[in-house]
Amino acid sequence: MKQQNNIKNEKIIYTASFKAKRSEELLSFLLEKMNTSRNNVKNILSNHQVLVNGNVVTQFNYMLGREDEIKISKNPIRDDKNKKTQFKKRPPRIDIIYEDNDFIAIDKPAGLLSVESDNDNESAYLYVSKFLEQEDKRNRCYIVHRIDKETSGVLIFAKNPIIHSNLRLNWNDYVITREYYAVVEGRMPKKEDTIITYLKENQNNLVYVTDDNRGQKAITHYKVINENNEYSLLKVLIDTGRKNQIRVHMNHLGHPIVFDEKYGYTKNPLKRLGLHASLLEIKNPLNGEVLRFEAKVPASFKALFKKEK
């Protein structure tokens, strides 16, 4: 099914870009940041020039969440498809695996951004936002965490700004389990191990292992679940959620994840990156309830290890 973007694939020129530091109404935020009149702010809102996390917003009382990205376009952004887009049950390509009054969790497909970028407007955040707005225009979701575009699996959004702010401020205090499955090249000499390194990022946005303890400490645990002469299927648990952490650690061991174009792959048996976020367990900041979000391991991962008859 062909997907619909809320913004045309044309270059957008931004005159300003901000990041929210707390939950507050969009109008109040823009009045403070733009140092202009209330009428001017309302005009740019009604003129489709304000984007929040890549989505055009026109409501002055739209509630921002901590670390939302707000951008002001030089010109109006109009797309009639944006008004006509309807989802019967759920957004295209998105499987909703959990929803309550506070959270919505999806099984994000590989190849879809968690949140829009300057070069790609299509994102899980956009589709989940549209899905929630169908029930009530006042509904919205808040970004809690992200997974790489090329990675599939569990991605959660908060529906409550108070929960969102608590999670963003104290994410590691509320995360209990972060589990992934990875298909890597070759057979692992150690069938179970823990990798502890420091990571840094270069000017080309590539993360690398360093001996410099001023880098970010990264801890990855893995266990071989299945293997053959060409590949290994790993169950991976991470104690730290650094950028590209699992991908960098596997490449560091000499066993890159299949089809990892950034970190040294040579084989592409799955026609996608061999990394899937299978389980995320967190505590609800408001009541301490443990929530468990699971996304089944893709069948294609397991199919690589079926024994030939």
Q: Which of 68, 107, 148, 260 is catalytic?
A: 148
Please state, as a whole number, how many other Cβ atoms lie within 10 Å of the Cβ of residue 255: 21
> Residue length, the chain?
309
- For residue 174, the Cα-to-chain-centroid distance in whole angstroms is 18
Catalytic annotation on 260? no
Instruction: Please give the angle made by the CA atoms of 297, 140 and 12, to the nearest 5 degrees.
Output: 90
Which of 180, 194, 188, 185 has the alpha carbon at shortest distance from 151?
180
| Ranges assigned E (strand) in 74-167 | 95-99, 103-108, 142-143, 152-158
Q: Which two tokens stand for residue 28?
A: 């109040």
Between the alpha carbon of residue 211 and those of residues 89, 198, 200, 214, 218, the distances in Å are 50, 6, 10, 9, 12
Yes or no: say if 241 and 217 are a contact pair by the CB < 8 Å rule: no
Identify the three-state secondary structure at position 197.
strand
Q: How many CB atoms lie within 10 A of CB 186?
A: 16
Which amino acids are annotated catalytic? 148
